[in-house]
Amino acid sequence: MRKLAAALAVALLLTGCDGGGGDGSGESDVAVDTPELREQKAAAGIEDCVPGDGESDLPDLTLPCLGGGPDVTLSELTGPLLVNLWYSGCGPCRKEMPVLQQFYDAHGEQVGVLGLDVEQYPSYAIGFADEVDAVYPQVADPGGTIFDGEDLRLISAFPQTVFVDAEGRVSHIQAEEIKTLAELEDLAEEHLGVTL
- Tell me the per-residue pLDDT of 84-100, one tens digit each, with 9 for 90 and over: 999 999 999 999 999 99
Q: Does the pLDDT at position 10 exceed 70?
A: no
Residue 60 CB neighbours (<10 A): 12
CATH classification number, 2-192, choose in 3.30.465.10, 3.40.50.620, 3.40.50.10490, 3.40.30.10: 3.40.30.10
Q: Does the pLDDT at position 5 exceed 80?
A: no
Question: What integer pLDDT is reported at residue 13 of this predicted model?
Answer: 35
- How does pLDDT run across 103-128, given as a tens digit for each residue? 999 999 999 999 999 999 999 999 99
pLDDT band per the 50, 70, 90 thresholds, residue 26? very low
Contacts of 47 (CB under 8 A, 6+ apart): 135, 136, 137
Question: What integer pLDDT is reported at residue 27 of this predicted model?
Answer: 59
Question: What integer pLDDT is reported at residue 78 of this predicted model?
Answer: 92
Question: What integer pLDDT is reported at residue 17 of this predicted model?
Answer: 59
Instruction: Decide the pairing of beta strands 112-117 and 81-86.
Output: parallel
Question: What integer pLDDT is reported at residue 28 of this predicted model?
Answer: 67
